A and B are shown apart, each in its own frame.
Chain A
């Protein structure tokens, strides 16, 4: 599974990240172009597009729900305790919890909530939260002492410290943690859908694979790639760029 993604972003790191993002965008575009060619050649003629779109929508909103809860939990806990002595004490516990294979605890979620939307959203949240939590904790712990002192001396004390200093300080960590967390989130959503045999893109590709309808299987995977690509280009790339512009040393 993951692991610590927190660090102070440097200009070099952002350049490298942008280069990687550019390469993966190029790869995705190539795949989508290939899909379009195959589609034009009639390869996807038998695909149930409506079912695929519905499945993508179901999985995306489960992921979005899981992300919102995971972000609130991960960032909330890290911002709440990261600046206190409690953080050092709880770090080993968090480390232990995040190392538990996520699908090992899936039966617990199923036991309480069955194979429902709510269960998949909660299960996804528990995967998304850890990279965000560790990234924010690390960002707070590795903040330059002078910056901490400046915040204190100019009045960012007590609970006001969280909103006025720690939250903006942790912004790049929240972004990088979110990117990693969402990758895990996709795994959780699709895995839970396949295991549970419920609707969603996981259920769609599982059904397509089981009966050997490979065009539908590939169309489902390409659909996931298209959503991931759109989210990266429209949301994460601008946020990473903003983070690079303002935070790089």
Chain B
């Protein structure tokens, strides 16, 4: 497996024929990803969809270098990845403000500067009034916003979202989606999102990558050619939802 920075300035990342294995609970080696070829242009919004066991989260871990790939070639043209987790992954011992400032602290940003920036990011996600609250004192939607602010604080050039809406109620998820689109336009970072909800993928993404399971393989990449802002009630929107639903059904 090779991994390097590509000379192609327009690509955020590219995986070429990447495979990955992990050991299951019985220490048996399982092929999680097979011959994954996938790329994203800088500043684009790409979604990964597929059934359980498609290795979507494994793919994120391989891309971030948390897990070793077995063969293939990875180009990483990003240096500051940020991530928002399905289960929030906030540090329970730290307040909302300290959570948001965590990445800045690790980068060596001086205390006053990092707290100032963390406050700005909390304000951007509408939680300025909750900076002294601990995660246990926040609702699911508030936790996810803190997670988003934590990722934005490090000014990521790649933002990874691992099923960010799946634990949220519909109204909270709609609000967060709206804010996410606004922040994406504002920051211009590349976004890679794992998502099960097809209408969300159509509403947010430039491209939707469909994966099959056991082992995870990329089966199809569908470009969403709808103008932005997208109207979820438009007939063309439904056509994409139908198309993706049918394709996913075929993948099981």
Q: Indicate whether B136 reaches chain A with its CB closer than 8 angstroms.
A: yes
Asked if A144 meets B87 with Cβ closer than 8 Å, knowing A245-B136, A246-B136, A247-B93, the reply is yes
Inter-subunit contact A152/B66 (CB<8 Å): yes
Q: Mark B174-201, 1 if CB is under 8 A from A, else 0.
A: 0000000000000000000000000000
Residues of B within 8 A of A152 (CB): 66
Q: How far is the CA of A92 from the CA of B225 in the complex (A)?
A: 58
Q: Mark A143-169, 1 if CB is under 8 A from B, else 0.
A: 010110111111110001000110011
Closest to B82 in A: A153
Inter-subunit contact B106/A154 (CB<8 Å): yes
Q: Which of B81-96 contact A (CB under 8 A)?
A: 81-83, 85-87, 89-94
Q: How far is the CA of A165 from the CA of B99 in the complex (A)?
A: 11
Q: Could you jot down 29 A-B contacts, CB within 8 Å?
A: A144-B87, A146-B86, A146-B87, A147-B91, A149-B61, A149-B83, A149-B89, A150-B89, A150-B90, A151-B91, A152-B66, A153-B64, A153-B82, A154-B103, A154-B106, A154-B150, A155-B103, A155-B106, A155-B107, A156-B106, A164-B105, A164-B106, A165-B91, A168-B91, A168-B94, A169-B93, A171-B93, A245-B136, A249-B92
- Report which residue of A147, A149, A153 has the largest number of chain B beta carbons within 10 angstroms of its beta carbon: A153
Residues of A within 8 A of B89 (CB): 144, 146-147, 149-150
Q: Indicate whether A248 reaches chain B with its CB closer than 8 angstroms.
A: yes
Interface of A: prevailing SS: helix
Contact count band on B: 20 to 34
Q: Which of B213-242 contact A (CB under 8 A)?
A: none
Q: Which of A225-249 contact B (CB under 8 A)?
A: 245-249
